[in-house]
Structure 1
Amino acid sequence: MTDVRTQLGTVRGVQDGDVHRFLGIPFAAPPVGDLRWKHAQPPTAWEGVREASTFGPGPIQTALTEHTPKGGQSEDCLYLNVWTTNLDPSAKQPVMFWIHGGGFLNGAASMPLYDGTSLSQRGITVVSVEYRLGAFGFLTDPEVGANFGVSDWVLGLEWVRSTIEAFGGDPGCVTIFGQSAGGAATRALLSTPSARGLFHRAIIQSAGFEDYAVAGSPSYERARAATQRMKSALGCDTVDEMRVIEPEPVRVASLANSGIFPPQGQVHTPANLVWYPVVDGDVITPGFEGWPEDVPVMFGCTEDESRMFIRPDALYAHPEVRPEDAYTHDTLVNMARALGGDAADDIVKELTGRGLTPYEAIAEVYTAAVWHEPALATLDRFDALGRTLYYYRFARVSPGAEKDGTRAFHAAENPYVFGRLVPEGYYDDVDLAVHDAVQTAWTEFARTGVPSHLDGTAWPAYDTDNPHFTIIDDVTTSKPLQISPVTALIRAQRSDATSSGEDN
């Protein structure tokens, strides 16, 4: 057992080898009752010693999955976790502040994948944070505001600033990082004035890019309309009336209005999501008022992002259905029209001309439209601001991912980042080396602001005149930026207003 005194009280964690872990530390008042749909409030101090050996409750899972948070789920969910090998307040270790993914509908910091042990053994103080999901975190209404989940991240970062030295961390060297919804969260914090000065580097993984070139994107208006539908479904005229309703009916109404049910003839994509950080002019403002000019950003995506979403056994729980039988040429045409606009016919011609099956072709256009092309537009936007950028593409396909067809799917990099290469047999010795390369890049970026290769050479910063990116595959190499034909066709559909406007 390990005791650490904080400003709110003493917490008692657990030591496992050289790693101290402190779990379920409250960083905000429980957002229940009158605090439902209010921005995060400071927690109450406690007397004596608070046990911090088990995770606190995770957020209510708007769309129920098999991944139940270890501490259960509750509206009372604003807890964080710390892993460190050094409790010396003068240690000044880099801090990495993890925001989990899950489409702002699911997920929890307590998921085994996000265990901070391996990262902490590289001299990092690791923090992971819970936050409100679905309508609990992202309801949008002029009566009460918006972006309640964003205020959770900000208060978590304020806790880091005031407390992390007690866990060996440096409040002046904080990296915010997240994947999927966590990547979008990281991007949102760049535009959150109240977060300015609370972080010093940012890593955006597989989300948080520009609006889609053709498809609609999450917005204030979309969330506002969904909130109105929720009020009607719950028989309420005001948000105050909704505050007294039990959590489960709210969860059900949140799910019904979440946007995860795809239009007829299409496959669900993140473009349909509703509960999301949005520009409200208060918490999140147009532009990047939360992003100091000296804060570098590292961001990227995986080679085969959409493979996570369109496997029949993953999305529809039908392992007996082969992908080749689940999707037809008509599905491809519908997806190309939804995501490629006027370029749909050329996209279909390009894909089918290579002899791809409808499943393979859908995977490519889905990945290009939702991830690869918006990431390129983000390069344009961030570079125009004169910021220091490092762009990567994760392309390693483990033996298990080759066998099950997921390849370098959405979230494929997370086991390498956190050193959680399980189950046995899914990864091999090459993956161990890739894990070393990934953790080296991530932690060196956290430490110095520059990601590096295993031999110590720096990744190239993005340069418009000589654009390079870093490919993480069996080996990690930096090379001239490459754009696929399908991505180029979608990129051509992006309007000048979208690519050069000032809104997020």
Structure 2
Amino acid sequence: MSKPAGPVVRIGPGEVRGFWRGEPGAPGASAAFLGIPFARAPIGELRFGAPVPPEPWDGVRDALEYGATAQRGDTGITLIPEPSVPGDGTLNVNVFTPRPGERDAALPVLVYIHGGGYVAGSPASPWYDGRAFNRDGIVTVTVSYRLGFDGFGHIAGAPSNRGVRDQLAALEWVQANIAAFGGDPGRVTIAGQSAGGDAVLTLLGMPAAQHLFHAVWALSPALGDVTAERARTLSAKLANLAGVPPTREGFASVPEDRLHALQDAAAAHDFQNPRSGVRSVLADGLAWAPAIDGDLLAQPTLESIRAGVGADKPLVLGTTDDEFTMIMDRAKGRMRFVPASPALRWLGLSREVRRAYLAANPAQRRKGTAALVGRLVSDRVFRTGVVRVAEARADDLDRRGSGALDPAAAPTWAYRFAWPSPTRTWALHCLDVPFWFDCLDEPHVAAIAGDDPPRALAAALHGAAAAFIREADPGWTSWSGGRTRIFGGDPTKPEVDPDGYASVRPLL
């Protein structure tokens, strides 16, 4: 029996052909359209420029394979499988839909932005396939954007925050074209994990992006605004390493692979002194990330959110319990006899904060000093951000309505993913992603979640995500002082903790 012909839809630049997964019309069937350009290849004169709409094409363009990725080469073993795809046309989208060509279907839309610290990651991950969301009646789009210095480095005379501009261009493409795939441009939820989580919060706080989406889900966001001064300093350091002037022409003269190698050196922290190295990582955050440019980003994201930008957008955000605790696993033996309080002092915590933090984290303290330090890193980089963002939105409500509910404001919901990995010990960074996408059968999942991950947990987390995308409500009580849904926690305790991030409050 021959396979059904791939569906063809017409979008702005021309027609594209995808392929079916399952029999058209059968339960669970969906179509995939891969590697559709939303902008021209950022090479030659377009390198370091703002994204430019793609050239129209004649005939039907096959969208059967993932497009080129901004990530280059083999990044080695990572927690999420994110393959690199060679090629120049790195600005592309992948669309997964149960109703291709049905413009009147008006299904809700999920646009997912991958993580990777803004220097790695790929929209071609099998974990990001939208088939489970398609099953739930949701059109899913994964997008690419320029990474590292190409996407985020400061260059005098070139557009700033080029990676953010790519994300905006991809969202503009969704607004213009998603109806052809059965999606409703008036019901777009943006979501992302890690750097992708930061990306969607950046967009939430960006006035120029408000017309492009209607709700936000941020998984493990690491707030990463780079100051203008630091952006200029890093750029000058990179130019010095490359031996070129810090201009668009100078950087363009450096081969791509060499610039990628040098960007790591320019951003490297000095670990000759471990204490100052770790503390600088915690203080400085990511190097190549959205920068305060006075244009797209006039102020830090948190300040923008506190000022009310994006207040009308429903928001869900949360973290795993031990995002980066695993980085201290190798030090467990060496730190066995190191008292907890001196270790925290070594990382810059004052006496008062140390006492409060230890009192708030007794269970983690019992696991040893290495586990406690790892939790502190997780808290400083990821988990405090949940509280800061949630309370910034609450602060805005208070200022505008003296504590009364503003009818134009939308709720904020928080969650924690508390299920520990049977292979990696912790409820670690990225562990929640295959549960969120409900792709536990994907072969790479076992490495991080074991051979028999709990399907009920995937049903709960993915179900909450699908409900939020469809109905703007994930199904539990909103923040209001700290209320937090716990996924995969102690089954003898309530699912909603009245202050689920209380353990990080001493750090605020």
Fold match by TM threshold 0.5: yes
Partner in structure 2 of residue 434 of structure 1: 457
Amino acid at match of 2:107: Q
1:301 to 310, 319, 331: 319
1:418 to 423, 437, 442: 437
Deviations 1:382-406 (A, max 9, x none): 1112242111111122xxx13431x
Per-residue deviation at 1:356? 3.6
Per-residue deviation at 1:8? 0.7
2:285 is aligned with 1:272: yes
Partner in structure 1 of residue 469 of structure 2: 446
Q: TM-score, normalised by structure 2?
A: 0.83
Per-residue deviation at 1:235? 1.7
In structure 2, the CA distance between the partners of 1:348 and 1:69, relative to structure 1 (3 Å rule), is closer
Amino acid at match of 2:479: Y
In structure 2, the CA distance between the partners of 1:80 and 1:373, relative to structure 1 (3 Å rule), is same
RMSD of aligned C-alpha atoms? Answer: 2.9
Q: How does 1:237-256 map to 2 (within 5 A)?
A: 237=245, 238-256=247-265
Partner in structure 1 of residue 240 of structure 2: 232
Q: TM-score, normalised by structure 1?
A: 0.84
Q: Is the 8 A contact 2:192 2:217 kept in 1?
A: yes
1:389 to 407, 412, 418: 412
Per-residue deviation at 1:301? 1.0
Q: Where does structure 1 differ by over 6 angstroms across 4 or more consecutive aligned residues?
A: none
In structure 2, the CA distance between the partners of 1:310 and 1:151, relative to structure 1 (3 Å rule), is farther
Amino acid at match of 1:301: T
Taking the aligned partners of 2:321 and 2:268, their CA distance within structure 1 comes to 25
Q: Is the 8 A contact 1:7 1:163 kept in 2?
A: yes
Q: How does 1:129-168 map to 2 (within 5 A)?
A: 129-168=143-182
Taking the aligned partners of 1:134 and 1:331, their CA distance within structure 2 comes to 36
In structure 2, the CA distance between the partners of 1:115 and 1:352, relative to structure 1 (3 Å rule), is same
1:31 to 32, 36, 42: 42
Q: How does 1:49-60 map to 2 (within 5 A)?
A: 49-60=60-71
Unaligned runs of 5+ in 2: 1-5, 23-28, 398-408
Partner in structure 1 of residue 388 of structure 2: 377
Q: How does 1:47-446 map to 2 (within 5 A)?
A: 47-61=58-72, 64-66=75-77, 70=83, 72-74=85-87, 76-87=89-100, 88-209=102-223, 218-237=226-245, 238-259=247-268, 262=271, 264-266=273-275, 267=278, 271-286=284-299, 287-288=304-305, 291-312=309-330, 323-325=332-334, 329=338, 333=342, 336-338=345-347, 340-341=349-350, 343=352, 345-346=354-355, 354-386=365-397, 387=409, 388-397=411-420, 401-405=421-425, 407-421=426-440, 422=442, 423-424=445-446, 426-427=449-450, 431-446=454-469
In structure 2, the CA distance between the partners of 1:52 and 1:420, relative to structure 1 (3 Å rule), is same
Amino acid at match of 2:296: V
Taking the aligned partners of 2:56 and 2:19, their CA distance within structure 1 comes to 21
Partner in structure 2 of residue 2 of structure 1: 7
Give secondary structure in 2 for the equivalent of 1:404. coil
Amino acid at match of 1:420: C
Per-residue deviation at 1:257? 1.9
Taking the aligned partners of 1:335 and 1:415, their CA distance within structure 2 comes to 33
% of aligned pairs identical? 28
Partner in structure 2 of residue 214 of structure 1: none
In structure 2, the CA distance between the partners of 1:332 and 1:46, relative to structure 1 (3 Å rule), is farther
Aligned length: 463
In structure 2, the CA distance between the partners of 1:56 and 1:358, relative to structure 1 (3 Å rule), is same
Taking the aligned partners of 1:143 and 1:247, their CA distance within structure 2 comes to 20
In structure 2, the CA distance between the partners of 1:385 and 1:16, relative to structure 1 (3 Å rule), is same
Q: Is the 8 A contact 1:183 1:206 kept in 2?
A: yes
Per-residue deviation at 1:105? 1.2
Amino acid at match of 2:484: F
In structure 2, the CA distance between the partners of 1:324 and 1:50, relative to structure 1 (3 Å rule), is farther
Deviations 1:373-422 (A, max 9, x none): 2321222211112242111111122xxx13431x2111111011111225
Give secondary structure in 1 for the equivalent of 2:112. strand
In structure 2, the CA distance between the partners of 1:62 and 1:20, relative to structure 1 (3 Å rule), is closer
Amino acid at match of 2:285: N
Taking the aligned partners of 1:278 and 1:62, their CA distance within structure 2 comes to 26
Deviations 1:355-375 (A, max 9, x none): 442321212211222222232
Per-residue deviation at 1:229? 0.7
2:488 is aligned with 1:470: no
